[in-house]
Amino acid sequence: MEEVQEGHLHNNDAQEPSSPKDGTVINQPLPGRLKHWKWWLLVIINIVFLLVGQSVATLLGRFYYDKGGNSKWMATLVQSAAFPLLLLPLFAFRSSTPSITPPPVAKVAFIYISLGLIVGGDNLMYSYGLLYLPVSTYSLICASQLAFNVFFSYFLNSQKFTSLILNSVVLLTFSTILLAVHSESAGPTGLSKGKYVVGFLCTLGASATYSLLLSLIQLSFQKVLKKETFSVVLEMQIYTSAVATCVCVVGLFSSGEWRGLGEEMDGFAKGRVSYLMTLIWTAVAWQIAAVGVVGLIFLVSSLFSNVISTLALPVVPVFAVIFFHDKMDGVKIVSMMLAIWGFVSYIYQHYLDDSKSKLSRSDANEVFNVTV
């Protein structure tokens, strides 16, 4: 496979054609050694990874709780434990072509450990949110992560604001506020108001932390790692997941939840085999989603990666109504429409930036031909 060169790490290559990268970020050239259609193919593949993985993992996580699962640390552990599956594609993508001077090992280790700790804490908050909230409410609250990401991207990744981006942020924020106001009737049957509030706050906190994490990953690519091959995406996911897994294992044993896993497996409504398959496929789905997330950060930007995550939000509640019989009342429908409107607003901004980029390339080519 051809090397994937990060455009936002090589802004000095002005002669290279522009990329359809997120125009709301700094104008970023297309990865130098990657043709336009191949870049789009990789972007589409990572989008599919993210959408499919996130949707399947969220639904399986809710299935785990609904059928008798109750270990929050186990639900957190499966979000990172399947990272060894990525070792095989890592070796496949690894290139023998010399890269730039590698950064100090201590600095790289600090990045992976720090990000891994953040991932572990973020996954735990998501587990609490998924335990105490219906899937539809949980997914729609997660729409707030885009608003948080715009904030962090502005300060950490030089993100520019446009009217359409601001419109997207406002709409997604109002979408979340609607759910907060409607909390007295949105909780699952038999769940106390206090637990619903805990679930809401944990999910909101997890969304903010997740957005910060994406911006920090992009910053790490830009300032420290600076590798030219796609294997850096897999390395980032493998090492941070390894640290997060260690955190979860410590939490599982220190909390004492491990003692009840055998009983939990025996009491699982669909049987022991279904219990194991649920955990295994949840873990696999989260790794697929995570590769899509980091891949889109590498190829485009953290904001674009987060926007694609919001695309799954209207999909998950629909499946939740079908499989888990969640109620889709008027407030949730309005909230969903606002989330979709916010997403479309951002995509339209991306379309305008891409069109402007193509026009600039065309003008540059004409000037070049005239001078020649």
**Strand, helix or coil for residue 28:** coil
**pLDDT tens for each residue of 156-201:** 877 677 788 788 778 877 776 776 566 544 445 566 788 888 999 9
Position 3 scores a pLDDT of 39
Instruction: Read off the pLDDT of each residue in 49-57 and give the average, rounded to a whole number.
Output: 90
Do the beta carbons of residue 224 and residue 107 sit within 8 Å? Answer: yes
Hey, which residues does 180 pair with through a beta bridge? none
Do the beta carbons of residue 302 and residue 146 sit within 8 Å? Answer: no
**pLDDT tens for each residue of 113-161:** 999 999 999 999 998 988 888 877 777 788 778 778 878 888 887 767 7
Distance of CA 163 to the CA centre of its chain: 24
Give the confidence band of 363 by pLDDT, cuts at 50, 70, 90: low
Distance of CA 371 to the CA centre of its chain: 46
Lowest mean pLDDT among 151-165, 233-247, 309-323: 309-323
Position 369 scores a pLDDT of 59
Q: What is the CA radius of gyration of the chain?
A: 21
Give the confidence band of 365 by pLDDT, cuts at 50, 70, 90: low
247-256, 308-317, 327-336: which is most confident: 247-256
Average pLDDT of the chain, as a whole number? 78
Residue 87 burial by CB count (10 A; 0-12/13-18/19+): exposed, middle or buried?
A: exposed
Torsion-angle region of residue 187: left (phi > 0), alpha (psi -120 to 50) or beta? Answer: beta
Instruction: Read off the pLDDT of each residue in 330-345 and give the average, rounded to a whole number.
Output: 78
Position 288 scores a pLDDT of 94
237/182 Cα distance (integer angstroms): 37
Q: What amino acid is encoded at 209 in this protein?
A: T
- The two three-digit tokens of residue 18, written as one number: 């522009």
172/144 Cα distance (integer angstroms): 6
Position 32 scores a pLDDT of 45
Position 29 scores a pLDDT of 40
**pLDDT tens for each residue of 11-43:** 333 333 333 344 333 334 444 445 667 877 888
- pLDDT at residue 247 above 60? yes
**pLDDT tens for each residue of 250-283:** 999 999 999 999 999 999 999 999 999 999 999 9
Query: What is the sign, positive or negative, of the torsion defined by CA atoms of 101, 228, 311, 26?
Result: positive
Position 167 scores a pLDDT of 83
Query: What is the sign, positive or negative, of the torsion defined by CA atoms of 36, 37, 39, 44?
Result: positive
Torsion-angle region of residue 256: left (phi > 0), alpha (psi -120 to 50) or beta? Answer: left
